[in-house]
Chains A and B, each alone.
Chain A
Amino acid sequence: MSANEFMVWWVDEDGQESKSRWFTDETDPVNLSDLIADMQELSEAMISRYAIKLNGVPAVAIPGAAGAYDIADKVVFEYLDSAGNTIKVAVPAPKTGIFSDSDNVDLNHADVITWNAAIKAIYESNHGATLATLVRGYRTRAARAA
């Protein structure tokens, strides 16, 4: 098993950015925050953000079954957030079974209800608002050659 990628972005006084890319097997955010804090003490540049890219298939992710689908086809869930803004969240290659007709999602489908609860639990918009109401779900299709 390969290690997780660990990336740190630095910015200097002129606004120029530099990225360091290492590897880690640590995912505890407290420990990684300690690492970042100690790293900051070595440099004149400011650490603006960091990212952990987990390598390999997550234990919970199940590869999709083979079928006639394309990753450019998407289902778009449209929400109103708690500040009243419209927020769109997309998932590619949606399963046909979650649709009530050719274009619209069945909002009462069990897997859609589960997904809706899961995204609501972790999502916070750029306005600092949470997802409040699922308005609709619809299909978007990739443009294909005739």
Chain B
Amino acid sequence: MSEKLSVFYVDEDGDEAVHIYPITDGTTDPEAAGIETFLQATADISHAAIPGQALTIDVVNSDVAGTGPYDVEDKMVLTFKTFAGNTVKLPIPAPIRTLMETDDESFDIAEAALDDFVTDALLYLVDKGASALKEYIKSKRGRKNRKS
């Protein structure tokens, strides 16, 4: 079992509750018929409004976490501009060192893995107002504040 449907409920006083329903592995689309049918049926037996839903998917990942001296608090921060003119920053924790430029501060967009991700980001990610990403601007290293 690896997927869960979280349903957000709110009552007339604005009080909220979240109920989590484990779902079959094949039910990976939050807008799929099975989930929509379930939400409709739930709305028919409950007074509460359903203002949102979330689908959580466990990633079946054959990779193992690296063993080098890294920390998820160290990040690669990719900056994009949207069609609406907003700036969007995408943080990727524990970036692979070979993706970095020799200055150890920025990342090499010519690296195939980074180029692939930027292409995907331009296709699928947006800003909070749903304006699509227009172009990649820059990358920068973000470090965790550490005690000396």
Q: Given the complex of chains A and B, what is the CA–CA distance between A39 and B51 in angstroms?
A: 30
- Residues 51-80 of A at the B interface (beta carbon under 8 Å): 51-67, 69-72, 75
B17 an interface residue at 8 Å Cβ cutoff?
Answer: yes
Answer whether residue B68 sits at the interface, using C-beta atoms and an 8 A cutoff.
Answer: yes
Residues of chain B contacted by A16 (CB below 8 angstroms): 71-73
Q: Find out whether the CB atom of B94 lies under 8 angstroms from the CB atom of A54.
A: no
B interface residues, how many (CB within 8 angstroms): 85
Of B25, B47, B52, B61, the residue contacting A55 (CB under 8 A) is B52
In the complex, chain A residues 103-123 whose Cβ is within 8 Å of any chain B Cβ: 111-112, 114-115, 117-119, 121-123
B120 touches A44 (CB 8 A): no
Find the A residue at minimum CB distance from B23.
A122
Q: Are A122 and B38 in contact (CB under 8 A)?
A: yes
Q: Does A146 contact B (CB under 8 A)?
A: no
Is B105 positioned at the interface, with any CB of A under 8 Å from its CB? no
User: In the complex, what distance in Å separates the CA atom of A90 from the CA atom of B119?
Assistant: 42
A-B contact count (CB 8 A): 278
Query: Nearest chain B CB to A89's CB is how many angstroms away?
Result: 7
A111 lies within 8 A of B1 (CB): no
- B27, B45, B126: which has the most chain A beta carbons within 10 Å? B45
A11 to chain B, nearest CB (A): 6
A12 touches which one: B10, B35, B93 (CB < 8 A)? Answer: B93
Minimum CB distance partner of A116 in chain B: B41
Distance in Å: Cβ of B63 to nearest Cβ of chain A: 6
Q: Is A40 located at the chain interface by the 8 A CB criterion?
A: yes
User: Nearest B residue to A113 by beta-carbon distance?
Assistant: B41
Q: Is B52 within 8 A of A58, CB to CB? A: yes
Contact with A along B1-27 (1 / 0, CB 8 A): 100011001111101110101111101
